[in-house]
Structure formats: C-alpha cells, structure tokens
Amino acid sequence: MAGRRTMGQTTRRKRAPEGTNNGRVHVRKGDRVKVIRGNFAGQEGTVLRVLPKENRVVIEGVNLRKRHMRPTQENPEGGIVTFEAPLHASNVMLIDPATGDPTRVRHHVDEDGTKERISARSGNAIPTPKAGKV
C-alpha cells in the first residue's frame, strides 16, 4: 500500500527543492523579527535557530507546541514538554533596530570588501547580532 507506515517508521521532512534558496536565509541567529503571516502574525521575538536547508527559523516564544514525552533515563518523570517549532522564513521580517519597524534587507559591500546589511525602509545599517547573547 502506498503511503502506509508501520511501527517505527517516520515520515520524511519536506525540504526546499534544490537551488531554490541555496541555503541562504535573510535573518540570522539573534535577530529581532516580526511574524507577518499565519496564526502568529504580529508576534515578535528573537531568532534562536536558523535551518537554512529547510528555509525555516525558530523564534523565541512563537509557535509553541506541546509534546507528550514518556519517562526515560534522561527524563524520569516524562510529562508534557513545551517547545518552539520552526516557522517558514518567508513569514518573518527583520525588525530595524533604529526605528523598531519591520523592514526588508539590502546588502552593501564596502570598498574594503566587508559586507553589511542595510534596512530597505530607513537606509540605516543593521548591526550583526552577537552570537553569545542568545
């Protein structure tokens, strides 16, 4: 039977087709973003993880899911665990730190070869988030 799963088998994760985003996402870990589409539209949070191959991001406090965990040696009590599930990267916009508004991102390469992100709305440079902060 096509599509039938037996015990122990899981479904495969959907991945972006080859060459669609080449492993690039417009936000980085530590960025403040706003959700613009879906059930969590309007919520803001910090990017905890970026999954470039799946074109998804995990945002702090957004898209909370619950999973029922059975007791194991690591977690002897088991119970219900709450965690943040990934959102598609196209559903979030970077928040400009200067104005606090969501913005698209442009890239500029200086004469010395350094790249910087520019806010499309205000034209200000967007600083690189500190990785140790998150």
In three-state secondary structure terms, 95 is: strand
pLDDT of residue 134: 43
- Residues constituting the chain: 134
Q: Is the pTM of this model over 0.85?
A: no
Please write the tens of the pLDDT for every residue from 52-96.
999 999 999 999 999 999 999 988 998 999 999 999 999 999 999
Instruction: Look at residue 17 and tell me whether its pLDDT is greater than 90.
Output: no
CATH of the domain at 123: 2.30.30.30
108-114: Cβ within 8 A, 24+ apart: none
- Number of folded domains in the chain? 1
- Full residue range of the structural domain in which residue 85 is found: 32-133
**Residue 125: inside a domain, yes or no?**
yes
Place of tokens 């007791």: 71
Residue 106 maps to a domain: yes
